[in-house]
Amino acid sequence: MSTDQLQRSPAAPSPPPHSPRPPAGSGPRRRRSDRFLHRVFVTPSVLTLLVLALYPLLFIAAAAFSRSSLGQPFQEFSGLENLRTAAGDPAVQDSMVLGTGYALGVAAASTVLGTITAVALWRSVRSGAVLRTLLLLPMIVPPVIVGILWSFIFSPSGGLIDTALRQFSSYSGTFAVLSDTSWAIIGVAVADTWEWTPLVVLLVFTALLGQDPEILEAAQIDGAQPVQQFFHITLPTIAGTVAAAFLIRLILAFKVFDLVYVMTSGGPGSSTQVPAYLIWRAALQNFDVGMAASITLVLAVVVTLVTLPIFYLTKRLRDD
Amino acid sequence: MIETAEAPSSSLVEGAEPPPPRTSPRTAARRGGPRPRRTPGLVLSYGWVALSAVVVLVPLAYLASLSLMTQGQISAGLLLPAEPAWQNWGNAWNSAIPRGIANSLAAAFIGALLTLALALPGAWTIARHRTGGSALSGLILSPWLLPPVVAIIPLLTLLRLLGLINTLPGLTLVYALMNVPVAIWLLDGFIRRIPVEIEEAARLDGAGELQLLFRVVVPVLGPALIAVGVIVAILNYNEFLFATFLTQSEGSQTVPVVLAGMLSERVQDFGRIAASSLLAVIPIFTIAVLLQRHLVEGLTTGAVK
């Protein structure tokens, strides 16, 4: 500390302009105490990681290899039995296929729609604060309410779609989206896309605002057509953000639970039984924590396999 | 981009340009950056934006309309109430909803404050001093990757040990911890935008690390802290899964749990549920509209470089 003050005092000769800045915390004593403080600062974060990641991970691993119920975990060691049962169970396999398809579909839909909306928004209103807040609304509606809202819209007795069909077409049957085995998951996906596309819009819109104006101006002066400008300048600058948005959206979609819980409870049959819902049922309806833990491990493998390539793609696009 | 407390950082997202005067396209392009020329594509853009606004607003308007209809009017397939059935709102107000909203707000905001207190020192140290190395910064977001269902049973066991099960403080504590990774991730983007020179100057003036954090970093980060705090509070307010398991007793239930309970009643009263949903959304919409600049700033900071 004293050396710092010395160098700052007017009496001390000012350092020659090209000499490197004096090291920030000079003296070994200060550096050691700083390092100690830094460790103190990081402690809450590390503790959080331990409570939120390591402890559940160990718990799940232990539960997967033992017979465990909700009240009495770790009753006896059962080896690979749970995992073998989970991986071989057609219901689990179906759920993983459903979950992966759902996540990829919903992420793709949100990313495409969100990117188009962001570009349209950017082309028509440069700042668009009011519109942007408006378009943001679905994201801050609690998912439980989003589920309720779309259940009403899809309701066959007086729902929005049902009513609109009756009033504006000659349709007279009942179209019950959420109680149809092949349409129910699409109904959930529509609600999910409605809720989270605004996030993509926001991320891409900001990336568009962050473009270097000079490059685009130069291209305009050089006579580049709007379409050329878009594909050669705009698209490359937002590609990394679009990929990152897809990745975030994919992870969010793999976690969908509230919407399924409120809209379909996994049904009809098992047609909307996404992995998170299946795990919830195993653990908190059947109280089989060992099985729930094993399904979780299977899901972890599936999520990793699906997201890893996209993760690396995103990284490459963003580092460019 | 130098962002300081004097120049609120929200200007970054508001658009780097001053409000563009409507002059010829050329000057507009020069002043306001890359403004695309007027082309047929522009009509398409306006059309698409208008369509998006409709897609966002119609469902919400429908919910408002439902909240003013009796069950009979809904079944009859009306889109707008013939005469507003205000009793739905009265019924919503005289239910467990207001208490649920109060519980949600308390858990959301106290949880968010705790999250910030836990995350800020860590975020700053990890961003500036690489304490914990790449391992820590890489692992920070890992709890966010898997469905939160995974953590429920372990956390349930932990809360039982602490005697906090079925209490609002227990849920608040879980919320506080749960968002630390996201808060660190968001704060990282803001911290990297603070010019290192400010911190170096303070260090040369003899500021210790603690002073640096509280006298320099915190004031400069002010708007960012609000942004992250609001986002975390919204996440908490909307959370359902943990709330439904960790608050089984009626007095501690948050508003999403109360609403989900209404859905599982044998006879569903659409109008009352719609009014209750809107009642639950009002606080969070108000906060979002009042703080929209901060909110947007926080959500996009990860993408802005």
CB of A296 less than 8 A from some CB of B: yes
Query: Three-class SS of residue A69?
Result: strand
- Band (A61; pLDDT cuts 50, 70, 90): confident
Does a structural domain hold residue A121?
Answer: yes
Share of residues in chain A with pLDDT > 90 (%): 32
State residue B35's pLDDT score.
52
* pLDDT number for residue B236: 94
Question: What are the tens digits of pLDDT across the range A64-88?
Answer: 888 877 667 777 787 788 888 888 8
Residue A210 DSSP SS3? coil
Cα B50 to Cα A121: distance, rounded to the nearest angstrom: 9
DSSP state of A89: -
The dihedral built from the CA positions of residue A190, A194, A196 and A199, taken in this order, carries a sign that is: positive
Residue among A241, A239, A233 at smallest CA distance from A213: A233
Residue with token string 């009306």: B78
A35 and A132 part of one domain: no
- Confidence at residue A100, expressed as pLDDT on a 0 to 100 scale: 96
pLDDT digits (tens, 9 = 90+) for B142-193: 888 777 887 888 888 888 888 888 889 999 999 999 999 989 988 888 888 8
Q: Which band of pLDDT confidence, cut at 50, 70 and 90, is reported for residue B98? A: very high
Q: Is residue A151 part of a domain?
A: no
Per-residue pLDDT, A127: 63
A211 and A128 within one domain: yes
What is the predicted pLDDT for the residue at B160?
Answer: 87
Q: Which amino acid is at A40?
A: V
Q: Which domain holds residue B214?
A: 90-301
Please say if the pLDDT value at position A192 is more than 90. yes
User: Looking at the domain assignment, is residue A15 inside a domain?
Assistant: no
Are B181 and B252 within one domain?
Answer: yes
| CB contact (8 A) between residue B129 and residue A59 | no
Q: Is residue A101's pLDDT more than 90?
A: yes
Q: Whole-model pTM?
A: 0.83
pLDDT band at A98 (very low <50, low <70, confident <90, very high): very high
- Give the per-residue pLDDT at A53: 85
Assess if residue A215 is contained within a domain: yes
pLDDT > 80? residue A4: no
B150 to A296: CB separation less than 8 angstroms, yes or no: yes
* Interface contact A213-B157, CB threshold 8 A: no
Residue B117 lies in a domain: yes
> Cβ–Cβ of B203/A244 closer than 8 Å?
no
pLDDT at A32 over 90: no
Backbone angles phi, psi at B55, to 5 degrees: -60, -35
Ranked by mean pLDDT, the top range of A124-138, B80-94, B228-242 is B228-242
| CA atoms lying within 13 Å on the CB side of residue B171 | 28
The predicted pLDDT at position B157 comes to: 84
pLDDT of residue B131: 74
Residue B40 has pLDDT above 80, yes or no: no
What is the residue type of B257?
Answer: V
- Alpha-carbon distance of A113 to A48, in angstroms, equals 36
C-alpha span between B224 and B229 (Å, rounded): 8
Residues B148 and B291 in one domain: yes
B62 lies in the same domain as B204: no
Contact check, Cβ <8 Å, A257/B149: yes
Same domain, B160 and B280: yes
Q: Are residues A57 and A114 in the same domain?
A: no
Q: Quick check: A16 contacting B, CB < 8 Å?
A: no
- Regarding whether A274 and A248 lie in a shared domain, the answer is yes
Looking at the structure, do residues A205 and A56 belong to the same domain, yes or no?
no
Per-residue pLDDT tens digits for A40-56: 888 888 888 888 888 88
Q: Which helix (H) or strand (E) holds A166?
A: helix A160-168
Same structural domain for residues B240 and B296?
A: yes
Best of A116, A130, A132, A145 to substitute, by most chain B Cβ atoms within 10 angstroms, is: A145
Structure confidence at residue B210 (pLDDT): 79
What's residue A188's pLDDT?
96
Q: How much of chain A exceeds pLDDT 70, in percent?
A: 88
Total domain count, chain B: 2
Residues 184-203 of A with CB under 8 A from B: 194, 198-199, 201-203
The per-residue pLDDT for B137 is: 75
Q: Looking at beta carbons, which residues of chain A come within 8 Å of B136?
A: 42, 45-46, 49
User: Would you state the pLDDT for residue B266?
Assistant: 74
Q: Report which of residues B298 and B86 the model is more confident about.
A: B86
Domain closes at, from B70, B85, B100: B85
Residue A187 in domain? no
Instruction: Decide if pLDDT at A302 tops 90.
Output: yes
Boundary residue ending a domain (B31, B56, B85): B85
Q: Give the pLDDT confidence of B105-131 residue by residue, as tens digits.
A: 999 999 999 999 999 999 888 888 877
Asked if residue B18 belongs to a domain, the reply is no
CA distance B53 to B65: 18
Of B123, B293, B303, the CB nearest to A244: B303
Contact state of A44 with B119 under an 8 Å Cβ cutoff:
yes
Q: Residue A216's domain is classified under what CATH number? A: 1.10.3720.10
Mean pLDDT, chain B, integer = 80
Does residue B133 share a domain with residue B51?
no
* Same domain assignment for residues A105 and A247: yes
pLDDT score at A314:
85
Q: Per-residue confidence at A9, pLDDT binned at 50, 70, 90?
A: very low
pLDDT of amino acid B37: 52
* pLDDT at residue B11 in the model: 38
CATH of the domain at B236: 1.10.3720.10
Q: What is the pLDDT of residue B109?
A: 95
Q: With an 8 Å Cβ cutoff, is A154 touching chain B?
A: no
Do A37 and A108 fall within a single domain? Answer: no
Interface of A with B in 130-149 (CB under 8 A): 131-138, 140-145, 148-149
Asked if residue A240 has pLDDT above 70, the reply is yes
Q: Is the residue at A75 inside a domain?
A: no
Q: What is the pLDDT of residue A320?
A: 62
Q: Does residue A34 sit in the same domain as residue A85? A: no
Of A45, A137, A138, the CB nearest to B122: A45
Same domain, yes or no, for A57 and A93? no
pLDDT, mean of residues B227-251: 89
Q: Which of B7-11, B70-74, B160-164 has the lowest mean pLDDT?
A: B7-11
Contact B296 A137 (CB under 8 A): no
What is the tally of structural domains in chain A?
Answer: 2
Check whether residue A303 and residue A260 sit in a common domain.
yes
Does B203 share its domain with B253? yes
Q: What is the pLDDT of residues A268-283, one digit of tens each?
A: 888 999 999 999 998 8
Q: What is the rounded CA–CA span in Å between residue A226 and residue B41?
A: 9
Q: What is the pLDDT at residue A30?
A: 59
Check CB contact under 8 Å for B299 and A202: yes
| Residue A262 distance to chain B (closest CA, Å) | 7
Query: Could you tell me if residue B182 is inside a domain?
Result: yes
CB-nearest to B303 from A40, A207, A283 is A207
Kindly state whether residue B43 falls inside one of the protein's structural domains: yes
Compare B114 and A125 and report the one with higher pLDDT: B114
What is the structure's pLDDT at B302? 55
Q: Which residues of A touch B184 (CB under 8 A)?
A: 45
Last residue of some domain: B29, B53, B85? Answer: B85
Higher-confidence residue of B17 and A198: namely: A198
Under the banding of pLDDT at 50, 70 and 90, the label for residue B53 is very high
Identify whether residues B126 and B179 lie together within a single domain.
Answer: yes
Using the predicted structure, report yes or no on whether residue B245 has a pLDDT greater than 80: yes
User: Is residue B1 situated within a structural domain?
Assistant: no
| Interface size between A and B, measured as CB pairs under 8 A | 322
Q: Are B79 and B64 found together in one domain?
A: yes
User: Does residue A33 fall inside a structural domain?
Assistant: yes
Q: How many CA atoms within 13 Å lie on the side-chain side of B226?
A: 18
Domain residue limits at A60:
28-64
Highest mean pLDDT range out of A9-13, A237-241, B8-12, B40-44?
A237-241
A54 and A200 share a domain?
no
Q: Is the pLDDT of residue A149 over 90?
A: yes
CB A240 within 8 A of CB A318: yes
Does a structural domain hold residue A41? yes
List own/partner pairs for B258-263 with CB under 8 A and 24 or more apart. B258/B95, B258/B96, B258/B97, B258/B99, B258/B100, B259/A142, B259/A144, B259/A145, B259/A148, B259/B97, B259/B100, B260/A144, B260/A261, B260/A262, B261/B96, B262/B95, B263/A148, B263/A151, B263/A262
Q: Do residue B246 and residue B177 come from a single domain?
A: yes
Reported as type and span, the H/E element at residue A77 is strand A76-77
Q: Which of A22, A141, A241 sits opposite B281 (nearest CB)?
A: A141
Which ipTM value was assigned to this complex?
A: 0.82
Using CA atoms, how far residue B95 sits from B234, B261, B281, B282, in Å, is 23, 12, 16, 16
Write the CA distances from B114 to A87, A287, B119, B229, integer angstroms: 40, 32, 8, 10
Please indicate if any CB of chain B lies within 8 Å of the CB of A225: no
- Phi then psi for B166, rounded to 5 degrees? 65, 25
Q: What would the mean pLDDT of B249-272 be, rounded to a whole number?
A: 86
Does residue B13 form part of some domain?
Answer: no
Q: Do both B167 and B232 map to the same domain?
A: yes
* Together in a domain, B46 and B192: no
